[in-house]
C-alpha cells in the first residue's frame, strides 16, 4: 500500500468536515478524499440497514480513488455500519466513536458521562457499550438532540433559539450530575461554546473529531502508512451526491483554506 495515497473520509453531508478539519490540523502532510452524502442526509433518522447500504456504496466509491485508509466521519454511520463494513475491508477503517468514548472514560472523575447525538446513534447504544467495556462502573446517559443538526446547518450557532432548545435537551443530563459530555454528532462541536456555557465549567466536553484524528495518526504510524512527502496535484478532493456549490461554501467556512472545487457524483452507481 502506498503511504502517500489519500485517506478517504466520509459523512452523511457537511458535518464530517469537523473531522476533516482536525485531520488537516494534526496531519498537514496527508492527502484527503472527502465524500459528503448531501443527497441522502440525514442518516440520523434512518434505519441501520439503510445506513449500511449507503456506507458500502461510499466505500466502493472511495476505493476507486485508491485510498490507503478510511475514516467514517459520521457518528451515525459509525454506530450503524462500522462493525459490518470493516469485515469486508483489507485497508484500515475507523469510525468516530471509539476515540470519543475512550477520551470520555479517561476524563470523568465522578463516573457519570452524558452523550448527545442523533436518534440513530443514541438508539444504537454503541457509545454506552464501548464505555462499559472500558470501565463497567461508568454510568452513561444518552440524549438524542435531533434539532441541533438543522440549527447548525441554518448557521444558528449563537442564537437565542439554539440556547432555548439546548437548555431543554441538556436538562435531562444536568439532572444526572454528569461531569463529562460527549458531543457525539459531527455538527455538535460547532455548538461547543453554547454547550459549554449551558453545562457549566465543571463539565468536560469531549470532541470525538479531535480524538479520532489523534487515533488515526497513531494508527497510520503503527501500520507504516503515515505520509512522508508533499506530493503533486490537489491535496484535498471533495465529492458530494448533491448541492455541490452549497457544500463548497460550507467547507470553505469550516476548513483552514478555500475549497475551490467540489464534484457531484451519482453515488447510486457504486
Catalytic annotation on 185? yes
Residues 141-160 that bind ligand DGL (CB under 6 A): 149
Chain residues 110-129 in contact with ligand DGL, contact rule CB under 6 A: 117-118, 121
Backbone angles phi, psi at 266, to 5 degrees: -95, 100
| Cell 470523568 sits on residue | 108
Q: Tell me if residue 74 is catalytic.
A: yes
212 binds ligand DGL (CB under 6 A): no
In the chain, which ranges are E strands?
7-11, 32-36, 69-72, 93-94, 112-117, 139-144, 180-183, 204-206, 236-240, 263-264
Q: Return the residue nearest ligand DGL (CB atom).
A: 44
Question: DSSP letter at 188?
Answer: G
Binder among 6, 8, 42, 92 for ligand DGL (CB under 6 A): 42
The set of cell numbers assigned to 86 is 470493516
Q: Is 74 in the site for ligand DGL (CB under 6 A)?
A: yes
Q: Report if residue 241 touches ligand DGL, rule: CB under 6 A.
A: no
CB of 15 to ligand DGL, least distance (A): 4
72 touches 10 (CB < 8 A):
yes
Q: What would the grid cell of residue 107 be?
A: 476524563
Question: Which of 42/114 has CB closer to ligand DGL?
Answer: 42
Instruction: Determine, following the binding rule CB under 6 A, whether residue 208 of this chain makes contact with ligand DGL.
Output: no
Q: Is the dihedral of CA 25, 26, 27, 28 positive or negative?
A: positive
- The residue from 9, 32, 41, 166 that contacts ligand DGL (CB under 6 A) is 41
Q: At what angle do helices 17-26 and 208-222 cross, to 10 degrees?
A: 50
Among 74, 80, 145, 227, the active-site one is 74
54 binds ligand DGL, rule: CB under 6 A: no
Residues that bind ligand DGL (CB under 6 A): 11-12, 15, 41-44, 74-76, 117-118, 121, 149, 185-187
Residues noted as catalytic: 74, 185
Amino acid at each position: 500500500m502506498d503511504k502517500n495515497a489519500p485517506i478517504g473520509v466520509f459523512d452523511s453531508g457537511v458535518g464530517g468536515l469537523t473531522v476533516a478539519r482536525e485531520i488537516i490540523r494534526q496531519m498537514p502532510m496527508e492527502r484527503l478524499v472527502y465524500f459528503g452524502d448531501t443527497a441522502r442526509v440525514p442518516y440520523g433518522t434512518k434505519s441501520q440497514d439503510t445506513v449500511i447500504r449507503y456506507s458500502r456504496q461510499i466505500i466502493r466509491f472511495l476505493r476507486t480513488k485508491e485510498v490507503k485508509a478510511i475514516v467514517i466521519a459520521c457518528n451515525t454511520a459509525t454506530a450503524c455500519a462500522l462493525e459490518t463494513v470493516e469485515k469486508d475491508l483489507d485497508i484500515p477503517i475507523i469510525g468516530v466513536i471509539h476515540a470519543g468514548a475512550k477520551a470520555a472514560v479517561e476524563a470523568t472523575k465522578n463516573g457519570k458521562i452524558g452523550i448527545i447525538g442523533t436518534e440513530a446513534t443514541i438508539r444504537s447504544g454503541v457509545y454506552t457499550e464501548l464505555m462499559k467495556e472500558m470501565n463497567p462502573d461508568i454510568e452513561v446517559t444518552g440524549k438524542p438532540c435531533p434539532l441541533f443538526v438543522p440549527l447548525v446547518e441554518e448557521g444558528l450557532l449563537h442564537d437565542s433559539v439554539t440556547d432555548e432548545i439546548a437548555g431543554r435537551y441538556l436538562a435531562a443530563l444536568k439532572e444526572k450530575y454528569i461531569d463529562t459530555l460527549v458531543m457525539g454528532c459531527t455538527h455538535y462541536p460547532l455548538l461547543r461554546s453554547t454547550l459549554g456555557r449551558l453545562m457549566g465549567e465543571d463539565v468536560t466536553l469531549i470532541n470525538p473529531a479531535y480524538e479520532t484524528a489523534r487515533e488515526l495518526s497513531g494508527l497510520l504510524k503503527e501500520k507504516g502508512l503515515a505520509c512522508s512527502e508533499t506530493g503533486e496535484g490537489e491535496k484535498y478532493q471533495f465529492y458530494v451526491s448533491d448541492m455541490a456549490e452549497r457544500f463548497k461554501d460550507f467547507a470553505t467556512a469550516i476548513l483552514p483554506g478555500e475549497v475551490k472545487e467540489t464534484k457531484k457524483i451519482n453515488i447510486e452507481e457504486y
